[in-house]
Amino acid sequence: MPDVAGADILEKVAEEAGVGASHDAPPHKQSSPPALNRKLITVSIMAATIMQSIDSTIANVALPKMQGTFSATQEEIGWVLTSYIIAAAIMIPLTGWLAGRFGRKKVFLISIAGFAVSSAACGASVTLGQIVFFRLLQGISGAALVPLSQAIMFDINDPRDYARAMAIWGVGVTMGPILGPALGGWLTQNYDWRWVFYINVPIGIVAFLGLTASMPETEPVDRRFDFFGFTTLSLFLGALQLMLDRGQLKDWFNSPEIIFYAGLGGVSLYLFLVHTLTHDKPFVSPALFADHNFLASNIFIFLIGVVLFATLALLPPMLQTDMQYPVLTTGLVTAPRGLGTMLAMMLVGRMSGKADMRGIMTVGLSLTVLSLWMMSDFSLLMGAEPVVMSGLVQGFGVGLSYVPLSTLAFSTLPAHLRNEGTAFFNLLRNIGSAIGISVVEFLLTRNTQVVHAGMAAHVTPYNLHDPGFAALHVDPFRVRGLEALNGIITRQASMVGYIDDFKLMMVLMIAVIPLVLLLKRPDYAPKEEVAVMD
């Protein structure tokens, strides 16, 4: 802790830096918490972050049970996921303005309370309309938790400790989607699908009480709301999410519905960009993109979001459908991925200030490429070991990439742009994941059909006596035998489709690695000249 004179210096520098100010308002003073509260703040915001990040995937495995409870069609039950995704996508950009206008602590606490209450309401729902509505509220409430938690972690730590802070924060953000399906499957199988939502309530209470007691408040700034900018951005994000979510179901651009979403999204994006570049105080500040590292890091997080979440979307159905793994076994063989991520982030935290973050990031991206190469060698005859090992390597690579990227993105960004910057950073991560999942699932379906047609073309009356059919233990001269043969061909074609997706993502990551050269190593100021909340 600095002495009295040092504290005065820090307070003065913090006031001049405008910690927590909005981009169109003068800097304002932010109170500093006692040093003893830092651990409590960290634990509390990480509880909220993990709660929200787990919820992004935990409900997926419970959908079949929900479908039976509500007697819903597959398309109808899909809105349980779609409503949450769309609401969160629209609200994330609003996070920066709300935190600046009403105070970060107030927005964070309201978000936690709203998320916990809406989670309880989801679990208690008795109709499909009720759960879709409460999932919408859940997405609205939870959107601010991840970007604001990241901004808070930067503010309560010295710049030299940013890598360690991002290692802690990154564990919550990346581990949630990884552990979500396994936890959701265990709760659904051993208790009830409603506990997928009820589990958020005690976590939310702990986070709310901890932050109420420890977190300082930022001074609100009277800032005008750019309604046109927000509306056009919201229309773009909503249309994009609907197009990506329903495209596979509606056969993409062969459907008038998807064409409408694409047109609405394109026009809205055009209007938003023109408005942002011409308005004096736009909804998203152009000053964000004047920072070189922040701009380059947003390109990276978009692409990492593609690989991180696309792989998570591909592995569970591959293991459960094609390899006949139970839900719990699927969770166990994919869990090492999360272990690798945690170990990597702990390592990066210890290397904070001792190594160039760009070098660590390059190693992480290279390991991610290696893991995807390992996945491209999957087969229906393999055991669990290739899944475990490739997941462990990929998790380690993602951990080594994510922490340095988050550190470099905000190490040179002015403190008063941090709320807005973290919101935009996480928005691009979500958009990348949505696009990545839609693309790989589309290619999986298309390639499976193509490969199936090619393989089935070789099954003719002239080769049904081939010894290979006897090895498959099917009788090709009977209907049941033909059905079994078709199932085998379908599984083989599906595995080829998965391998093609893994190869595509591998090529994408190889192309990304040279972009590390766009990032600059931050030149940290001496510690006594840095404004921190301590």
- The lowest-confidence range among 22-26, 57-61, 477-481 is 22-26
Give residue limits of the domains in the chain: 31-158+181-222, 449-484
Task: Give the per-residue pLDDT at 443.
Answer: 85
The average confidence (pLDDT) of the chain is 77
Mean local confidence (pLDDT), 117-131: 89
Mean local confidence (pLDDT), 170-194: 77
Give the span between the Cα atoms of 411 and 219, in whole angstroms.
Answer: 23
Q: Which fold has domain 31-158+181-222?
A: Growth Hormone; Chain: A; (1.20.1250)
Share of the chain above pLDDT 90, in %: 7
Provide the token pair at 300.
């990276």
Q: For the segment 234-249, what is each residue's pLDDT rounded down to a tens digit?
A: 888 888 878 887 777 7
Q: For the segment 305-323, what is each residue's pLDDT rounded down to a tens digit?
A: 777 777 877 887 788 778 8
**CA-wise closest residue to 404 among 148, 155, 167:** 167
Q: pLDDT higher for 181 or 108?
A: 108
Q: Can you tell me which residue has the tokens 């940013």?
A: 162
526 has a pLDDT exceeding 50 = no
Task: Give the per-residue pLDDT at 446.
Answer: 85
**CA-wise closest residue to 438 among 242, 176, 174:** 242
420 has a pLDDT exceeding 70 = yes
Q: For the segment 135-170, what is each residue's pLDDT rounded down to a tens digit?
A: 889 988 888 888 888 888 887 877 777 777 777 787
Q: Residue 226 burial by CB count (10 A; 0-12/13-18/19+): exposed, middle or buried?
A: buried
Which DSSP helix (H) or strand (E) runs through 396?
Answer: helix 385-411
Q: Output the pTM of the full model.
A: 0.73
Where do the DSSP E strands lie in 231-308? none
Mean local confidence (pLDDT), 410-421: 77
Share of the chain above pLDDT 70, in %: 84
325 has a pLDDT exceeding 90 = no
Q: For the segment 370-400, what is each residue's pLDDT rounded down to a tens digit?
A: 999 999 889 888 888 899 999 899 888 888 8
At 34 the three-state DSSP class reads coil
- Residue 74 confidence class, pLDDT cut points 50, 70, 90: low
- Residue 461 confidence class, pLDDT cut points 50, 70, 90: low
Task: Give the per-residue pLDDT at 530.
Answer: 36
Task: Give the per-residue pLDDT at 374.
Answer: 92
Q: For the segment 248-301, what is each residue's pLDDT rounded down to a tens digit?
A: 777 788 888 889 988 998 998 899 888 888 877 777 777 777 877 888 888 888
Give the span between the Cα atoms of 315 and 331, in whole angstroms.
Answer: 10
Mean local confidence (pLDDT), 474-501: 75
